[in-house]
């Protein structure tokens, strides 16, 4: 007779759970990791064969390795010691803070997520809402950028859609690394954004240790050739005008730059504009310092309702409501050539002189960005309506004024892509959009600006204000 062993039920369940975990850890998970790694490597090899700028090894480095590289960087170690001394705390506590900052900043780039999911999602969302246009004003110089260069797209910042729009427009050329603000640090958006190579930034942080860790990450990624996208204004424009450039990121990139031995840093200006900025009213609302801040629930509820309503629209209705979204790319600026022309080496300058030199470069970049900001129908028609806000005009008269303005802009070399064959349709659609949103009133067949919508009309007209006086450039109108 065989002996039997009786076990309590809970022990049997516990042993079963341990057996399943062991099977997962030793059999299933290794096979799954191998399969996923193989898929990722296949995607990397496939996209690198067609990208103008290949994915850099730095982007494929494991996150923990990036964190270790930051924590044990000589300058970060010195900053940890200084921070501990200034705040009268143990070095270990300061090091733990630095580790927290490094973990927060370091991305987890996944080529499969970026090119198979992120690109598809960005493309679908961009084209779901807008008619997307892209233009190049660089005489094919983009193709002539040496493959080993660090490419940095510098852009104006009009909407949070900028991330989506530019990402899918350049996805056939390179993988972009963005700096994103704290607005994106919510689950599950945070995981998705980090897997697409973005890194989080605490804007306006005065913490010296945090800024040192951020500086070293930006410097290391730039030196490694990672292609980056930077909004020089540092934040969204609230009145539609170009803001004063922020110098922090440029300083991080250039303070240790040696033009003779380091790889070239090539800045590519990009101008972005929309017929309708999704968050226009929210941005304008913030101009009022006394305005009550909306709750997170209100923002979520409003955003979700907007998304569902937009999704249910027919394509023609969406495009008539949101119009064009356009990006123009300008002539690249080589930092190596710039330093040679100016007889300049940023790494040899004292902080005050370096910031002055970087400010000059930033102003030049802002000028180049303003030169390629697309002139879209809504901005143009908003300008015409504002010029006639004291006197109502017929639709025909407003379109005649707009056509005359287009001719003047084209002679000035402005980036306007409205052909003579589509004048009538495009301008009619733009005026219909302004009337439909309540920005323009129609009284007895005559159109006039709605007094309560002057600020909104100015917001759109301000996007092309630098062309107001012919060839007047951004350095004459940059607003603090």
Task: Give the rounded percent of residues in the chain with a pLDDT score beyond 70.
Answer: 78
> Cα–Cα distance between 101 and 81 in angstroms, integer?
15
Sign of torsion over alpha carbons 375, 379, 383, 388: positive
- What are the pLDDT digits (tens) for 119-135? 787 788 888 888 888 77
> Cα–Cα distance between 249 and 257 in angstroms, integer?
13
167 DSSP 8-state letter: H
> Cα–Cα distance between 437 and 459 in angstroms, integer?
14
Nearest to 277 by CA among 450, 437, 426: 437
> Cα–Cα distance between 376 and 379 in angstroms, integer?
6
The torsion angles phi and psi of 269, rounded to 5 degrees, stand at -65, 140
Record the tokens describing residue 136, joined without a space: 């190049």
Comparing 280 with 298, which gets the higher pLDDT? 280
Residue 58: pLDDT over 60: yes
- What are the pLDDT digits (tens) for 94-128? 999 999 999 988 888 877 777 777 778 778 888 88
pLDDT value at residue 48: 57
- What are the pLDDT digits (tens) for 144-175? 788 788 989 999 999 888 888 887 777 666 77
Residue 74: pLDDT over 90: yes
Tell me the average pLDDT across 86-90: 92
Residue 49: pLDDT over 70: no
Q: What is the mean pLDDT of the chain?
A: 81
| Single pTM value for the model | 0.82
Tell me the average pLDDT across 421-437: 87
């Amino acid at each position: 007779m065989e002996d039997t062993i009786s076990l309590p039920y809970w022990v049997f369940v516990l042993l079963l759970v341990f057996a399943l975990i062991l099977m997962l850890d030793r059999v299933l998970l290794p096979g799954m990791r191998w399969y996923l790694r193989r898929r990722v490597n296949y995607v990397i090899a496939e996209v690198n064969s067609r990208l103008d700028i290949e994915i850099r090894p730095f982007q494929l480095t494991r996150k923990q390795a990036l964190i270790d590289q930051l924590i044990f960087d000589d300058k970060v170690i010195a900053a940890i010691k200084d921070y501990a001394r200034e705040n009268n705390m143990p070095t270990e506590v300061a090091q733990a803070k630095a580790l927290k900052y490094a973990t927060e900043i370091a991305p987890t780039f996944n080529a499969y997520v970026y090119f198979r999911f992120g690109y598809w999602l960005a493309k679908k969302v961009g084209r779901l809402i807008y008619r997307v246009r892209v233009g190049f004003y660089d005489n094919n110089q983009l193709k002539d950028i040496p493959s080993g260069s660090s490419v940095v797209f510098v852009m104006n910042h009009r909407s949070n859609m900028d991330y989506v729009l530019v990402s899918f427009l350049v996805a056939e050329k390179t993988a972009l690394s963005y700096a994103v603000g704290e607005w994106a640090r919510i689950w599950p958006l945070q995981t998705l954004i980090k897997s697409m190579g973005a890194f989080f930034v605490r804007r306006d942080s005065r913490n010296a240790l945090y800024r040192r860790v951020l500086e070293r990450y930006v410097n290391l990624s730039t030196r490694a050739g990672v292609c980056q996208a930077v909004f020089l204004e540092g934040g969204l424009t609230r009145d539609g005008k170009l803001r004063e450039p922020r110098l922090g990121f440029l300083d991080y990139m250039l303070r240790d730059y040696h033009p003779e031995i380091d790889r070239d840093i090539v800045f590519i200006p990009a101008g972005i504009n929309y017929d309708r900025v999704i968050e226009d009213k929210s941005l304008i609302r913030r101009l009022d310092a006394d305005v009550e801040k909306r709750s997170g629930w209100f923002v979520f509820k409003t955003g979700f309702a907007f998304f569902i309503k937009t999704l249910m629209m027919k394509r023609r209705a969406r495009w008539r409501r949101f119009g064009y979204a356009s990006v123009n790319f300008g002539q690249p600026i080589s930092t190596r050539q710039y330093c040679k022309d100016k007889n300049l080496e940023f790494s040899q300058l004292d902080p005050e002189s370096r910031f002055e030199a970087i400010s000059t470069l930033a102003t030049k970049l802002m000028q180049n960005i303003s030169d390629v900001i697309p002139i879209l129908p809504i901005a143009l028609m908003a300008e015409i309506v504002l010029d006639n806000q004291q006197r109502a005009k017929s639709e025909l008269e407003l379109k005649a004024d707009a056509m005359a303005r287009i001719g003047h802009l084209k002679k000035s070399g402005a980036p306007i892509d409205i052909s003579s064959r589509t004048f009538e349709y495009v301008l009619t659609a733009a005026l219909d959009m302004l009337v439909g949103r309540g920005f323009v009133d129609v009284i007895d067949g005559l159109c006039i600006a709605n007094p309560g919508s002057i600020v909104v009309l100015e917001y759109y007209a301000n996007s092309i204000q630098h062309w107001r006086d012919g060839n007047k450039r951004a350095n004459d109108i940059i607003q603090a």
